[in-house]
Structure 1
Amino acid sequence: MKKEVIKPLAGMLLLLLWSIRYPNAQAQPALIPQPQQIEWTKESFQIHAGYSIRLDPELNQLAEQAKAFLQEKGGTFSPKSTRQITVKLGKVEAPLYPEEAYRLLVDSERIELVANTPHGIFNGLQTLRQLVRESEAVPGCRITDYPAFAWRGLMHDVGRNFQSLPFLKKQIEFMALYKLNIFHLHLTEDVAWRLESKRHPELTRPETMTRDAGQYYTQLELQELIDFCRARYITLVPELDMPGHSAAFRRATGVEMQSVEGMKIVKGVLEEFCQTFDLKYLHLGGDEVKITNTAFLPEMAALVEKHGKKVIGWYPGGNLPKTAIRQLWMGSARPTKGIPSVDSRYLYLNHHDPFESVVEIFNHKTCSVSTGDADHLGGIICVWNDRRVASQEAILRQNPVYPALLAWSERAWRGGGQVRETTRIGTSGSEEFGNFQEFEHRLLDHKKLYFQDKPFPYVRQSNIRWRITEPYDNGGDLARTFTPELTDDWSEIRTSEVVGATVYLRHWWFPEPTGWLEKPVANSTVYARARVWSDAERDAGLWVGFNNLSRSPATDSPPPGAWDNRMSKVWLNGTLIEPPRWARAGQKGHAEIPLVDEGYEYRAPIRVRLQRGWGWNRILVKAPVGGFRSDWQNPVKWMFTAVLVEEDGENMKAMEVKYEE
C-alpha cells in the first residue's frame, strides 16, 4: 500500500519541479531574434508615469510608431516630463552591416535608441516593441545589435496559389517585427501569370489560368505592396520565372518563350516592368528547364541590367551571366567565390514537418558560413505549395510558416548554425540541446503573445524523451512482430535516447539532413517508447503521424484503416490507436486535389484517455520500412510524430504532463 502512495507522490513532485524549471513565461521578455549583445539591469522604465520624446526631425515617422505602441500598452505622453525617450541618429560600432545596427539603453529615467541609419532605428523599435509587455514597465537593459547576414527573407509562390494583398500584408507585418528584410514574390508559373502587363494584357486573361482564374495583381497593386514593404524596410524581390515554368505564357501568347516571337514578347514585358517599377532586383528564375536557345537568358539579363537592376536566378539553373546573384536551392549547390549567393537549400517549408522545420532551420548554417559577406548574402525560406489549396488560409495551416519564420529570424540575424543539416535536437545535456531548448522557450512565449489567432502548428517538444530500439531486420515483411511490442519489460532491449515530437529515423533527402539513425538500413523495424506521468485520469489529444506529406508533390493519401502504407502502428497503455477515417482514403495523389486531413497539424487530434494508476502512461510506436527507393510523388519518409496536446484557441498547446527522462 505504501508503494502505491509513494509512486504517485514522487511523480507529482517531479511534475512540480519540472513546472518550476520550465515556466510558461520567462523572467525577462523573450526577444526574437536575440540581440547580439544584451545586458539586463534591475531598473525599469515605467511608461504609465509619463514621458517626453526627443527625436531627430527625419525620424519623426518612426518616433510616432514608438509613441503609438507605447500608448497601446498604457504609456502616457507628457511633453514636459523629464523622463525621456530619445530616438536619434548617431555612431553605433558594429562588425557587420552597420547600416542595420542599433544601440538601445533602458533605465528608470530614459529610453535611448541610437542607430547609424533610419533602418537601424526601425530594427531597434522592433526590439523595443517586444520589450514592452503587459506590465507597463520596460525592463532595464543595454543592447548593441546588428545582423549576421544582409538578406533575411521569405518567399511565397503566388503563381500557383493566389494570395490576396491583405493576406500578404499581414505576413509582411510579422516579417518586420522579426527583422526579416526580403520579400520574394514568385509571380508567374505554369498555372498562371499573375502580374498585369498593359502591353500584353492577354497574359492575365482568366482562361489562361488553371487555378484561381482571373486572380492577379494589377500594376497599382504591386506598387502598393512595394510601398508597404518599403515602409517597413523590406525589399520586395519579384520573380518572373523564365524560360521554364511558363505554360501559362504559352497558353496566353500561343508561342514558346525561347522562340524568336516569344523572346520579343518577353523583352517587351521586361521593358515595361523595368520602366514601371523602381526596384533594385528582378528575379528571372531560370531553373528546371531545357535551354533550347542559349541566347535567351543572357539577353534577358542584359536588358534588365541595362535598366540598372540586379538580376537573380536559381542555382543550379540556366545559363545566366556571372553578374547574376545565385539563389541556391539544391542541397548539392555551393556558393562560388566572386559570385553573390542567397541560400534556400533545405529551406523549403512545403517539405517540412512543423517540428522538423523549427529544428532544421534553427540548426541551419546559412550559405555554409557563420556570418555573411559580399559572396554570402544570406537566405530566403520558401513556401512552394505546388498542390492546389482549398483556400489561401490553408497555406498557413498546412505549412509551418510562422514557426519557421521565427526560427529563421533567429538564425539569419544571429548567424552560426551547425556544419551538417540535421533534424536532431540533440541529446539531454548536450550543448546543441541546451541552445535549442532556450530558443524554444522564447518561441513558445511569442506564440502565446502574438499568434493566438494565427495558425501556429508547434508545441513544446524538447521535453519529450523516447527510448528507441536498434533496427530489427523485418526481411521485407512490414507486419512482422518483434519483442518490444510483446512485453512491457524493456530491460534487456538495447535502446538509445531520442528527443522530440517528430523523429526522422532517415530523412528522405539522406544523407542530409541527418536523422536519428546514423546508418539506416532498408527492410527494418524500429520501436520507440515514451512514458508520460499523469496525476489524474483525463482525456487528451494526441497528434500522431507517420508520413508528413509535402505540399508540393502529388502524394497519395493514406490507405483506409491504416496510418500509412508501411503498416506503422501506435499504442497507448497497450491499446492500439486506430487511424482516422480519412476523408480521401486511398486517393491517388493529384496536384489539383487539395489536402484536407492527411497531416496531423491540420486535422483534429486523436482523442485518448490518460490513466492515473501508477501515474505513468506508455506510448509505443512501431515504425517499419521497406525499401528507400521511390518516385518523386511518394517519397519514403521514415519518421513518426506523437505528442499529447490540448486546444488553445486557434492552435494546440502541449499538455502539461511530465515525460520520463
Structure 2
Amino acid sequence: MKSIYTIAFVVLALCLPVTALAKSDHLLPRPQKISIDEKAKPFKLGRKVSITDSKGVKALRAFFEEHGCKTDSKAKATVTVTYTDAIEGAFDHKLAGYDNEAYTLEISTDAIEITAVSETGVIRAAQTLAQLAQGYKGKPKLEALTITDWPAFKVRGYMHDVGRSFISIETLKKHVDLLARFKVNTFHWHMTENQAWRFEVKAYPQLTSSGSMTRYPGLFYTQEQCKELQDYAKERGVIVIPEIDMPGHSEAFTRAMGFDMQTDKGVAVLKEIIEEVVKVFPDAPYIHIGADERTITYPDFLKIMTDKVHSLGKMVAVWNPIRGVAISTSTGADMTQMWSTGGKVIDGMPNIDCRYNYTNHFDVFADLVGIYKSNIYYEQQGTADVAGTISAYWNDRKTLTEEDIIKQNNFYANVIASAERAWIGGGRRYIDNCNNGGTNGGGGTTLPNSGEEYEEFADWERRFLFHKEHTLKGEPIAYVKQANVRWRITEPFPNNGDKDAVFAPETEGPKESYTVDGKEYNTSVATGAGIYLRHTWGNNIIQTHYGATNYSNCTSYAWTYVYSPKKQTVGAQIEFQNYGRSEKDKAPDAGKWDRKGSRIWVNDNEILPPVWENTGVAINNEVDLRNENFTARKPIGIELQKGWNKVFIKLPYVPADGVRLNKWMFTCVFTDLNGDNAVEGLIYSPDKELD
C-alpha cells in the first residue's frame, strides 16, 4: 500500500522545522499520492470564483463561501468538478451502502480541478481543501499541487454510547462536523441501554419517560433531532448507523413496557420500533440491532428481526460474537461488528474491526500508539470480509460532565489515529498476539525507539498536534507530544508480594544493569509518555514493554533525565492506574498514587499525589468517576532546574484490592500548567544525551 514516495515524504516532513512546513505537510489523513509544484504560485482565496459542478455538492460551495469567495461565472479563478467511472490507480473495494470515495485534486494559480466517482469523493476533496487552507495568519492560500487519494478501508468510524450517558445533539453534530474533516465517515449511534432508552418512539412514549431511566432521566433524542443530525451528517459524507440493541442491554425497555423483548409482546413492539427507526433514518444503509451479551432464546428471534429490517429495504448489522445463535447470512445478518478477542471474521459478509478499539479501557498515550501501529484485522486494505474499523467507548461508569466523556476517553486523538490507519492502510503488525490465527500479529502498544514505525507515528503526532491547535482548537484534548520522551526501564525484581520492598536501583541509583544475589538485571530504553508493563487485557493478548510475558509480585523501576534550558515551573501529568470508564474500581487511598504502591521522585524529591475525591467512597457505576485519571485534573506543579533533572519511578506490581483490571503502567510528561501542551525545549534522555 505504501509507496517509496510516501515514506520519503514522511521522513522529509519530520526533518523540517515547523515554520518551514507547507500546509500540505499537515494533511490528516495523509494522502495516498501527492506532488507539489514548488514553482507555481498558490491559488488565492477571498476572491471571486466560478464553480462548475453538475451535482452541486454543498460541502464544496460551503468551503469557498467560508473563505470569502463569491461565485461569479465570469471569474478568472475556476473550480471544475468532473465525474468519472473510476480514478486511475485508486483502490476501491465494494461495500454495500458506501460510495467510492476516490478523488483527484489539482490546484494551480487560478484553477482547481476535482475528479471523483461520486459526490462523496467531491466532499473528500473539499475536506482536503479545508485542511490546506488552515494555519495562515492572513488570507489563506492553496498550494499548487496534485493529489490522487482514496481510502484503504470503507468504514472509518466512531461510536457514541448515549444509552449509558447522554451527549447533547449540538455536541453530536459538532463531532460529526469536526471528525468529517479528517475523512471519518461513519457515526455508530448506540441509542438504547439498560440505563435508558434515548430514541423517541411515537407509538410508545413510555420508552423515553423519566420513570424508565436510571441515569440522566428524561433526556432523549426526538425524531426530529435524529433526522436533523442525519441530514447534517450526509452533507459531510458521514453515514449514520443507528443501533437499537436487542434482546440484551434492554432493562430500560422492560421497565417501560412491563415485559421482556424475548416475548410475543416484546417481538411485536420491536417490529413497530424498527418501522419508526427506518422512517427516521432513510439514508442509513444499515440498522444495527446489537444482539450481544444475552443468550437469544426466543425462537427465530434474530431471523424475525432481520427479516423485518430487510422488508423495509435496509441491511442489518450485529455485534460479533453473540450468544445462542450462529451469525450467518441464513440468520439475516449483513455485516458484523467484531468486539473482544472472541470477535472473528464471519465469511461471506463484511466485518468491522472494533476488537481492541474499546477506548474506555485506553490510557492517553500507549494504547493510541498500539491502535495506530496496528493493521486492521491482519489486512493491509479492505476486503470482502474486512470493511474497516470503528473506535468505540462504553460509559458503564458515570462521569461528571459531557466533557469528561470526551477527554477521559481521549476521544478525538483515538478516533483520528484509527481513521488515518483505515484511510492509508498498512500497519506492519496486528495489535494482538495472533490469537485469531493471523500471521502478522504481536504489534502491541510499544512505540519503537527508531525505524519506520517510529517515524510514521511521530509524523502522525506532529500533524495531529497541528490540528489540535487549529481544526480542533478549544476541544477537550489531553494528548500532547510524546515521541520525544525516553525512559530506561529495569527488568522486574521479584518482591514476594511486598510492594514496599527496596531494590538496587533505589540504593545504587540509575545504572544500565544490576547484580542481585548473583543474578544480573538489565535495563532497556522505552519511548513514550505512557508505558505499559502489563496491559489491561494481559501481555499474552496485547504485548507491552515486557513482550508477551505476564509478571506478578515484582517491582520495576523507570527513569529519565530531562534537560531544561532554564529554571521553570511546569505541569506534570502523572498516572499509574488509568481508570477504565466502564469500571467500578476503587480509588487510591489518601497520599498514594495507586493501589499497588507506585512512587515518583523528581530531583530526589518525592512527588505526592493530589487529593483524591473518591478516596474511601464505596464505588458503583453510579458514583461519578472524578479525578482518578490525570485527564480530569490539573497537572501537578513541578520546579525544573536549569540543566538536567532526574525523574525516578518505582513500579511495584502486586494485587490491587478493589481494582478489576490491574494495569501495570505509568504516565509522565511535562506540560504547561493547564496541561494543554507539552513544554517546548525539553530533552528527555535517560543517558543525558543532548543530541
Give, in whole Å, the separation in 1 of the partners of 2:319 and 2:81.
40
Counterpart of 2:114 in structure 1 is 113
Answering whether residue 493 of structure 2 is matched by residue 472 of structure 1, we say yes
The share of aligned pairs that are identical, in percent, is: 35
Q: Match for 1:257: what amino acid? A: M
The yes-or-no answer on 1:449 pairing with 2:470 is yes
Q: For residue 275 of structure 1, report the CA deviation from its aligned partner.
A: 4.4
Q: Using structure 2 for the length normalisation, give the TM-score.
A: 0.88
Deviations 1:156-186 (A, max 9, x none): 0111111111010000001210111111101
Distance 1:229 1:31 in 2: 21
Pairwise CA distance, 1:50: 4.0
C-alpha separation between the residues in 1 aligned to 2:235 and 2:255?
A: 37
Larger deviation: 426-435 or 453-462? 426-435
> Unaligned regions of 5+ residues in structure 2, if any?
1-13, 94-98, 432-442, 515-521
- Which of these residues, 642, 653, 656, is aligned with residue 678 of structure 2? 653
Shift of 1:657: 0.7
Q: Distance in 1 between matches of 2:193 and 2:445?
A: 35
The corresponding residue for 1:580 is: 610
- Residue of structure 1 equivalent to 2:667: 641
Q: How does 1:272-421 map to 2 (within 5 A)?
A: 272-278=276-282, 279-318=284-323, 319=325, 320-322=327-329, 323-324=332-333, 325-421=335-431
Residue 516 (str. 1) matches residue 513 (str. 2): no
> Superposition pairs for residues 548-567 of structure 1, below 5 Å?
548-567=578-597
Letter in 1 for 2:272: G
Q: Which amino acid aligns with 1:474?
A: N
Distance in 2 between residues matched to 1:321 and 1:353, nearest whole Å: 35
Q: CA deviation at 1:393?
A: 1.9
1:65 aligns with 2:62: yes
Give the equivalent residue in structure 1 for 2:133: 132
Q: Return the offset for 1:26.
A: 5.7
CA contact (8 A) 1:59 1:88 kept: no
* 2:200 counterpart residue number: 196
Deviation of 1:543 (Å):
0.5
CA distance in structure 1 between the aligned counterparts of 2:360 and 2:41, rounded to whole angstroms: 43
Secondary structure of the structure 1 residue equivalent to 2:651: strand
Specify whether residues 346 and 146 from structure 1 end up closer, same or farther in structure 2 by C-alpha distance, changes over 3 A only.
Answer: same
Q: Deviations over 1:66-95 (max 9, x none)?
A: 311332xxx676654434332332452222
Residues 24, 445 of structure 1: 8 Å contact kept: no
Q: Which amino acid aligns with 1:609?
A: E
Structure 2 distance, partners of 1:146, 1:659, is 38
Matching of residues 2-151 of structure 1 within 5 Å: 23-25=17-19, 27-29=21-23, 30-42=26-38, 43-48=40-45, 50-59=47-56, 61-71=58-68, 80-90=74-84, 92-93=87-88, 94-97=90-93, 99-133=100-134, 134=136, 136-151=140-155
Residue 321 (structure 1) shift: 4.4
Change (3 A) 1:337 1:435: same
CA contact (8 A) 2:43 2:108 kept: no
2:104 maps to a residue whose letter is: R
Letter aligned with residue 625 of structure 1 = Y
Q: CA separation of 1:472/1:25 partners in 2, compared to 1, >3 Å: closer, same or farther?
A: farther
Instruction: Choose which of 434, 437, 453 in structure 1 pairs with 2:455.
Output: 434
Distance 1:339 1:642 in 2: 43
Residues 43 and 107 in structure 2, CA contact (< 8 A), matched pair in contact too = no
Letter in 2 for 1:284: I
Pairing 1:522-561 to 2, within 5 Å after superposition: 522-561=552-591
Q: How far, CA to CA, are the matches of 2:198 and 2:46 in structure 1? A: 51
1:500 aligned residue (516, 522, 528): 528
Aligned counterparts of 2:460 and 2:376: Cα–Cα separation in 1:
18
The Cα RMSD (Å) is 2.2
Do the aligned partners of 1:191 and 1:209 also contact (CA within 8 Å) in 2?
Answer: yes
SS of 1:444's equivalent? helix
- 3-state SS in 1 of match to 2:421: helix
Distance change in 2, residues 1:109/1:225 (3 Å): closer
| CA contact 2:57–2:123 (8 Å) conserved in 1 | no
Query: Secondary structure of the equivalent of 1:39?
Result: strand
Q: Check 1:153–1:574 CA distance in 2 against 1; reply closer, same or farther (3 A cut).
A: same
Provide the rounded CA distance (Å) in 1 between the counterparts of 2:261 and 2:310.
Answer: 20
Count of residues paired in the alignment: 635
Q: Deviations over 1:112-153 (max 9, x none)?
A: 222121110100010111111315321221100000111111
Distance (whole Å) between structure 2 residues aligned to residue 571 and residue 655 of structure 1: 22
Pair 654,37 (structure 1): closer, same or farther in 2 beyond 3 Å? same
Task: Give 1:268 deviation, angstroms.
Answer: 2.4
- Work out whether residues 670 and 679 of structure 2, in 8 Å CA contact, stay in contact via their aligned partners in 1: yes
Closer/same/farther in 2, CA of residues 201 and 83 from structure 1, 3 Å limit: closer
| Matched letter for residue 141 of structure 2 | A
Which amino acid letter does the alignment assign opposite residue 288 of structure 2? H
Aligned counterparts of 1:460 and 1:191: Cα–Cα separation in 2: 37
Tell me which of 206, 215, 223 is aligned to 1:211: 215
- For residue 647 of structure 1, report the CA deviation from its aligned partner: 4.2
What letter matches 1:513 in structure 2? I
